[in-house]
Amino acid sequence: MAKNAKGSKLTKSYIKAARALLHPESTSAEIARILKHADVHYQKLRSELPEEKTFGARMGLQMACSAVAFHYTLTERGTDEEKVIQLIADTNWEIVKRGMAPIEWIGNLLFRDPMKNVR
């Protein structure tokens, strides 16, 4: 699996979404430590799983490993379990939302109701 530009094996999308959600309450240095620690968990989890053949399966596996790695990292730091679950859910939603944008755009082009613009 290729490393991203910063040397992490966590996906860039997951890092970006997690950084945005952690930013209001954490300093940049603290966020960097969280991401580094999560990356260690991610690499361990990912190394124990087989390589998937399809793109969708690989994406799902990456997202699941990233979520579990962040869960381990945040709970080890003493973050409340409810808050951890909410942060992970919000991070995953941001990634899914970004991934669905092109599909939604194509769907709107193909299946739009031209009469909506007239009304």
Residue 3 lies in a domain: no
Report the sign of the C-alpha dihedral through residues 91, 20, 9, 79, in that order: negative
Structure tokens belonging to residue 112: 């739009």
Does 7 fall in a domain?
no
Among 29, 52, 39, which Cα is nearest to 3's?
39
> Is 2 inside a domain boundary?
no
58 within 8 A of 42, measured Cβ to Cβ: no
What is the tens place of the pLDDT at every residue in 72-85? 999 998 988 998 89
For residue 98, give its domain range.
12-118
pLDDT tens per residue across span 1-56: 334 434 456 677 777 777 777 777 778 888 888 889 999 999 999 889 888 899 88
pLDDT band at 60 (very low <50, low <70, confident <90, very high): confident
Residue 109 tokens read as: 């082009």
**Above 80 in pLDDT, residue 63?**
yes
pTM (2 decimals)?
Answer: 0.71
Tell me, what's the pLDDT at 41? 93
**pLDDT of the residue at 92:** 86
The mean pLDDT of the chain is 81
pLDDT confidence of residue 98: 80
Q: How many domains does the chain have?
A: 1
pLDDT band with cut points at 50, 70 and 90 for residue 118? low
Measured CA distances, 83 to 2, 45, 46, 78, 86 (Å): 31, 22, 24, 11, 5
The answer to whether residue 90 is domain-embedded is yes
